[in-house]
Structure formats: structure tokens, C-alpha cells
Amino acid sequence: MDNRAAMFKKVLVANRGEIAVRVIRTLHEMGIAAVAVYSEVDRAALHVRMADEAYLLGPAVARESYLNIEKILDVAKRSGAEAIHPGYGFLSENPEFADACERAGVVFIGPPSSAMRAMGSKTAARQRMIEAGVPVVPGAQSGDVEEMMAAAERVGFPVMLKAASGGGGKGMRLVERAEDLRQAYERAQSEALKFFGDATVYLEKAVIRPRHVEIQVLGDRHGNLVHVFERDCSIQRRHQKVVEETPSPAMTPELLRTMGEVAVKGARAVGYYSAGTFEFLLGADGAFYFLEMNTRLQVEHPVSELVTGLDLVREMVRVAWGEALGYTQESLVQRGHAIEVRVYAEDPSTGFLPSPGRIEALHVPAGPGVRDDGGAYPGCEISSYYDPLISKMSVWAPTREQAIQRMQRALREYVVTGIKTNLAFHQRLFAHPEFVKGHYDTGFIDRYRDALLGWPEVPAEDAEVWAVATALAASRLEGHAHARAEGAHGNGLSPWVTAQRGSWKRG
């Protein structure tokens, strides 16, 4: 599909961590040289080591390095890079960056800046989608607290307040009673201004126990647009995704066809090309509502690649070069089942607070149907300056049941020491009977908090025994990750988690 004789020779990756590594790998497969950029704390980062060239941007603070458009374009000029791939986060959805690339004569590997502007503000995107016939949650675009109160009474409580700019759960408040709206509105405004520089807040009717289902879209510069099926991203903490899968356990062929057609229609309405994602709330009654469009590559794109055979980064590069997709909606087929977990340096027992530090030992799972998109290695530092994502581990299998079994096996093999991670949380989640049945929504973690996040109370006099038990468990896991004694751990958890759950005894 790609013509190596007529393709970019050198591409700059304007990002860091696992997504920079992932993009560099595809560039190398396509015969394209990769240019990395890095901040002072990322000098020894994996993406720097893997690139063909690497250039220092500046201090660790993102606005002085990964968010500095002038510095990135200067590196592109000095290195001779013909195009820039922004990954996700940082400048990936910044239309000013896309325009600056064009002015500098560098190709932006992503959508047109006009589409980014149209969908960048949630309120503007919502109005644009209403005009395009895309279903949206009833609510109010924006206004002062009195207007919000009137809108809330019109659509009925509970309601959700959301920041018009940004995402990641920032500037978002669930309001269940009228008397709580004023304070929630003020807090949402304050948080929105702090994180996004824009205090604009809008209101939506809260959909009770919804699923968060998104549709991947892909288009070229010739007007061809397809959807690449759905992803269920309902397992979230603090409104941020931690597990994604496709197909969704709630999906039917008819619903997928309808949601896919709506997403393509919405993308066409803003002249979209490249990779992008339409996010929807899916109610228990099968009704779905537009949330937002992410005008970039999603963190969870690997599961879509596993069930279709597409390389979405490769497709983005091809589209940026000017090639046509070369396939139709009818030619795309979804095969098997894929699930992704985000492995974070965080402590679930403290509300998923980040746990930066140095990784001492790292054993990444392998074997049939296992893919790990990582940016870490033994001895590397997980910085407190950036998102604490260590890797995204995905599995593929012919059925959902087998995919869950494969994920359970892979999680037992995954070892990270030196920092705290959410691996034990994932093991508990994939052993939870309701998740295994596919019975979950966006409130799943909060609903089963004790089962997923609970830790045993250890009396002070038992502290030494506890330390020995956990150390032995960790040693056993690291030394025997591929050899699990028959029947020794019938709960399906690793010996590390078994120790944490308190299955040891005092002598």
C-alpha cells in the first residue's frame, strides 16, 4: 500500500514515552528515519535511544519543551524532517501547531486545522454535530450559574457540568441536586481555568450507568471516510480510561452499523481526514449520544489494530503523504476480540495517585496474542513531570472469554519493581465475575471499590511477617513468571497479589 520510493524520508516525532516509541517503530518499518525530541529529564528515555536522531528541547516543564512549537519546528528545520507526527496529548490537537507546521513547510501528520478547531471546543463541536444530525445529550451550551440552573431544571437532575476545553476528567462535576449546582459550577469553572486557560463550562443531562463507547474513523484527503469499528472504554477511574476492548460486550451488528454511520457523517461534516475518534455515551436502552471528537490518535488504538490488521500510524503517514485509503467500509472486517490495559505507575489504594520513581526490575509478558506498547526499561525513571503511563498491554484471541484468559495469564507474568503500579488492580478486575460477564459501565470501579481496591489491614506486630511474605511472593513471581504451580493459586491471581490479599499466616 505504501510506496517507499515516494514517501517521507524523515519524520519528527513530537512526543515522548510509549507513543513516541510506537510511532518510531512504524516509521522504521516504512523505511523512514525517525527524529526524536526530548526534555532534560528524558535524556535516557527509550524513544531517544530508538530514534535515528535526537534533539534536546529544554527543561522538563512541558511548556518549555514538548509544548514549545518554536523549538520543535527549529528541530524539524535543523534535522531536515519533512513531516511531524504529534502522537497524542501535548500538541496533537492544537490547530495553531498544525498551522505553524504548514507555514514552516513541514507536513502535519494529522487532520486539517479547520477540523481541529471545529471539534476542539466541546460546546462548538456539540452545536456542529446537532447541525449534522448527530444525537447529543440534552443540555445547555454554556452560560452563567442562573442559566445553568434553568437548563438543569429543564432537562432534570442529575446533570453533568463539563469544561468546554480539554478533557481527562478535569473541570467535570456530577450534580444530583439543585442546591449543589452553584458550588459545583464554581469549582468546575476554577478547575477548567487552571488546566485549560478557559473557564467556559457547559451542562448535560447525566445518563445513568452508561457505557463509554467510541468509534474510530479514518479518512484520506480524497474524500474517502470509513469507521474502524468500536471500542468500549467504560472501565475508568476519575473519568480516565484504564481498560478498553473491542468488540464491546454491549454491541449488536445493528447498533454498530448505526453508530458507525453517525460517526462517519459527523467526520464528513467537518471535512475530516486522518485518524480520529467519536466518543459516545451508550445508555442501557441502546440510545447513544455524542460526547466529543478526539482529533488525533487515541491511546487505545492498538485494540482496533489487533482486530482489523490495520496499522493506524502507517495509515496516518500514508494519508499525510497524499495517498488514498485504498479500501472501503465493506472490505474492513473485525476478527476476534482484543483488550488493552493501561499499566500506570500509580497506587490504586490511594485513589490512583501517581507513583513516580526508578524501575528496578521489569519483566514484560510475551507469548501468543500479547502485545506491549511500552516506553520503559529496567533502570529508567518514571518522571513526576508527565503522565505516569508505563505501557499499554493488549491481548488478542478468537473470543472474549479466551481474551480474558490470555490477559489474566499475561498479567501474572508482568513484573515491575521499584515503584507502585496498578497491576494488582488489573488482576482483581479481570477476576471479577461481573466484568468477566461483560456487565459493566462507567461506574464499575466505584461500585466495586472494595473488591477491586481493598487492602488487608496488617497489625503492627505483624509488619515483619508481612514484609517477608510480600518479598517472597515478589521473588517467586519474578523468578518463575512462566511456571505456575498447579492449584497453588486457585484464585487466578499472581503470588504477589495473593500475599497482598492476606493469604499468608503467622507461624
Beta pairing class for 389-397 and 337-344: antiparallel
Rg (CA), the chain: 23
55 contacts: CB under 8 Å, gap ≥ 6: 35, 36, 37, 38, 75, 78, 79
Using alpha carbons only, what angle is made at residue 70 by residues 194 and 299, rounded to the nearest 5 degrees? 60
Q: How far is CA 28 from CA 9, 253, 275, 451, in A?
A: 10, 37, 20, 44
Catalytic residue among 126, 237, 296, 371: 296
Q: How far is CA 62 from CA 16, 223, 240, 315, 381, in A?
A: 11, 36, 21, 28, 17
Q: How far is CA 429 from CA 91, 209, 421, in A?
A: 33, 18, 14
Structural contact between residues 425 and 397, judged by C-beta atoms closer than 8 angstroms? no
The rounded distance, in Å, linking the Cα atoms of 402 and 396 is 8
Active site residue 296: yes
The rounded distance, in Å, linking the Cα atoms of 229 and 231 is 7
Dihedral sign of CA atoms 142, 146, 150, 153 in order: positive
Structural contact between residues 39 and 57, judged by C-beta atoms closer than 8 angstroms? yes
Closest to 430 (Cα-Cα) out of 242, 239, 214:
242
Using alpha carbons only, what angle is made at residue 255 by residues 251 and 261, rounded to the nearest 5 degrees? 125
Helix (H, G, I), strand (E, B) or coil at 409: helix
Structural contact between residues 74 and 68, judged by C-beta atoms closer than 8 angstroms? no
Which residue type sits at 266?
Answer: G
Cell of 419: 515503584
Strand order across the beta sheet in which 139-140 lies = 139-140, 201-205, 159-163, 173-175
Dihedral sign of CA atoms 292, 293, 298, 300 in order: positive
Helix (H, G, I), strand (E, B) or coil at 131: helix
Instruction: Give kind and range of the element (H or E) at residue 272.
Output: none
Closest to 300 (Cα-Cα) out of 326, 275, 274, 264:
275
Active site residues: 296
